[in-house]
């Protein structure tokens, strides 16, 4: 979008060239109002560097000619490729995208770039029927399927790796768009093969372990993702690789997986991990946001387990992962007491220590020592030195940032 923010700032000092163009072609004009909003109108008259504009609302305003930009003719309103616009300035681009969005046309393009606006509702523009129409070239309108199709075809034609970059602010729809890209590529490279299904199921796993609720987005990715899908010479998928590139506010949550585990773990697993409700863990209850509207964390946990089964993560490995997650939660519940006027701290012995130690397979005494001391080297020997409260807080904040 940065390339699209073409403005005529350099022309406003060229002896009224813009005004001359607008008047000679009888164009409508974009007028930037004092509040920063762009509005459409007609020039009634000009006097020096000032213009009188009649807005579509009927309001008449006087503004500097430097705040005027030419508008596109009505025939170009709603074009699906912004490069077709006669005037590619900021208000024209935004107006065209808004016009299409109002008709549930959430995709536009600017040459090879696809612009997507999150509709925040279900729109029937996905699924097997739509997907097939793009595979058969029956549709050429802007769509995420078209981008995936172009990347696949160029890969096969040129025998070169292709990249699709998804960029946008939080809540723009990057996670969902990535799903549709993977869905389309899986349909091209796998057909009914089970590998394509396995690749798609990784989305549930990544979201559970890497997404969280924020103030702006109920399903925000908290890390960058690099997803590689490997194709052989005949265009069939033969593997994939996913890499992650990596104090809560009141309306935010930590990673989904913690809440899903607390809500959905079966009784046998709950007993083994000695799990409590999410509200009983300090790492989760500090934000006062434990649920997401319209989301059943217990049901999401079952979907996660199904996805782990599909990608052939054995039950033993699954339970070990869940044990480590529970250990993180119990570590957050461990309390400390100050000894000798904050000269050093010691760990309170309670169920949090016992549970965390059992889950990470160590003795409670060893865990307490590790949490309240740090090692320093003296010659060839290592000495355990007790932590001060200040140093303990620093280490705790680093741990909380890295894990939660």
Distance, in Å, from the CA atom of 76 to the CA atom of 1, rounded to the nearest integer, reads: 20
Last residue of a domain, one of 98, 117, 136: 117
Same domain, 112 and 137: no
Supply the pLDDT for residue 383.
Answer: 63
- The binding site for ATP comprises 168-175
- Asked if the model's pLDDT at residue 181 lies above 50, the reply is yes
- The binding site comprises 168-175
> Tokens 């807080």 correspond to what residue?
393
Length of the chain: 404
Of residues 205 and 222, the one with the higher pLDDT is: 205
Residue 115's DSSP bridge partners are 108
- CATH of residue 270: 1.10.10.820
Same domain, 291 and 343: no
Last residue of a domain, one of 92, 117, 142: 117
The reply to whether 63 falls in a domain is yes
Same domain, 348 and 280: no
Supply the pLDDT for residue 395.
Answer: 44
Supply the pLDDT for residue 310.
Answer: 92
Same domain, 88 and 122: no
Supply the pLDDT for residue 260.
Answer: 96
Same domain, 162 and 112: no
- CATH of residue 59: 2.30.30.140
Same domain, 168 and 122: yes
Same domain, 21 and 95: yes
The reply to whether 150 falls in a domain is yes
Q: To the nearest whole number, what is the mean pLDDT of the chain?
A: 83
Supply the pLDDT for residue 15.
Answer: 35
Of residues 314 and 404, the one with the higher pLDDT is: 314
The reply to whether 181 falls in a domain is yes
Contact 221, 212 (CB under 8 A): no
Supply the pLDDT for residue 304.
Answer: 95
- CATH of residue 228: 3.40.850.10
The reply to whether 61 falls in a domain is yes
Supply the pLDDT for residue 399.
Answer: 41
HEC per residue, the chain:
CHHHCECCHHHCCCCCHHHHHHHHCCCCEEEECCCCCEEEEEEEEEECCEEEEEECCCCEEEEEHHHEEECCCHHHCCCCEHHHCCCCEHHHHHHHHHHHHCCCCCEEEECCEEEECCCCCCCCCCCHHHHHHHHCCCCCCCCHHHHHHHHHHHHHHHCCCCCCCCCCCCCCCHHHHHHHHHHHHHHHHCCCCHHHHHHHHHHHHHHHHHEECCCCCCCEECCEEEEEEEECCCCCEEEEEEEEECCCCCCCCCEHHHHHHHHHCCHHHHHHHCCCCHHHCHHHHCCCCCCCCCCCHHHHHHHHHHHHHHCCCCHHHHHHHHHHHHHHHHHHCCCEEEECCCCEEEECCCHHHHHHHHHCCCCHHHHHHHHHEEEEEECCEEEEEECCHHHHHHHHHHHHHHHC
Same domain, 172 and 223: yes
The pLDDT of 324-349, averaged and rounded, is: 77
Total domains in the chain come to: 4
Same domain, 268 and 196: no
Same domain, 236 and 262: no
Using a pLDDT cut of 70, give the percent of the chain over it: 81
The pLDDT of 9-20, averaged and rounded, is: 49
Same domain, 48 and 147: no
What residue numbers bound the domain in which 371 lies?
336-403
Same domain, 178 and 239: yes
The reply to whether 197 falls in a domain is yes
The reply to whether 32 falls in a domain is yes
Last residue of a domain, one of 62, 89, 117: 117
* 250 — pLDDT class (breaks 50, 70, 90): confident
The reply to whether 251 falls in a domain is no
- CATH of residue 391: 1.20.120.720
The reply to whether 250 falls in a domain is no
211-241 pLDDT tens trace: 888 777 888 877 677 888 999 999 988 888 7
Supply the pLDDT for residue 71.
Answer: 92
The pLDDT of 118-135, averaged and rounded, is: 93
């Amino acid at each position: 979008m940065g390339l699209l923010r073409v403005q005529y700032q350099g022309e406003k000092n060229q002896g009224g060239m813009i005004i001359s163009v607008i008047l000679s072609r009888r164009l409508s004009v974009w007028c930037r109002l004092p509040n920063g909003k762009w509005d459409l109108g007609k020039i009634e008259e000009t006097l020096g560097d000032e213009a009188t504009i009649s807005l579509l609302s009927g309001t008449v305003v006087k503004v500097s000619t430097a705040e005027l930009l030419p508008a596109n003719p009505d025939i170009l309103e709603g074009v699906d490729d912004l490069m077709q616009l006669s005037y590619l300035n900021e208000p024209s681009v935004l107006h065209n995208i808004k016009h299409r969005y109002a008709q549930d046309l959430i995709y536009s393009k600017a040459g090879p770039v696809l612009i997507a606006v999150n509709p925040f509702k279900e729109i029937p523009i996905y699924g097997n029927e739509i997907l097939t129409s793009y595979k058969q070239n029956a549709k050429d309108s802007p769509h995420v399927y078209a981008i995936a199709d172009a990347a696949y075809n160029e890969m096969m034609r040129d025998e070169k790796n292709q990249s699709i970059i998804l960029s946008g602010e939080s809540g723009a729809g990057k996670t969902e768009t990535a799903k549709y890209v993977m869905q389309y590529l899986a349909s091209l490279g796998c057909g009914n093969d089970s590998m394509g299904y396995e690749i798609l199921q990784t989305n549930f796993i990544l979201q559970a372990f890497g997404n969280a609720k924020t103030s702006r987005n109920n399903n925000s990715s908290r890390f960058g993702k690099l997803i590689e899908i490997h194709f052989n010479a005949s265009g069939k998928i033969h593997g994939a690789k996913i890499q992650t590139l990596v104090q809560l506010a009141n309306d935010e949550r930590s990673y989904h997986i913690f809440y899903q585990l607390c809500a959905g773990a079966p009784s046998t697993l709950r007993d083994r991990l000695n799990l409590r409700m999410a509200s009983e863990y300090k790492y989760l209850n500090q934000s006062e946001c434990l649920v997401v509207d319209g989301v059943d964390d217990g049901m999401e946990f079952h979907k996660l387990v199904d996805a782990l089964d599909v990608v052939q993560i054995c039950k033993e490995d699954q339970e070990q992962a869940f044990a480590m997650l529970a250990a993180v939660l119990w570590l957050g519940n461990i309390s400390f007491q100050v000894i000798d006027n904050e000269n050093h701290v010691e760990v309170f012995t309670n169920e949090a220590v016992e549970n965390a130690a059992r889950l990470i397979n160590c003795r409670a005494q060893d865990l307490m020592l590790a949490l309240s001391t740090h090692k320093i080297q003296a010659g060839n020997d290592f000495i355990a030195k007790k932590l001060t409260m200040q140093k303990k807080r620093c280490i705790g904040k680093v741990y909380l940032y890295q894990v939660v």
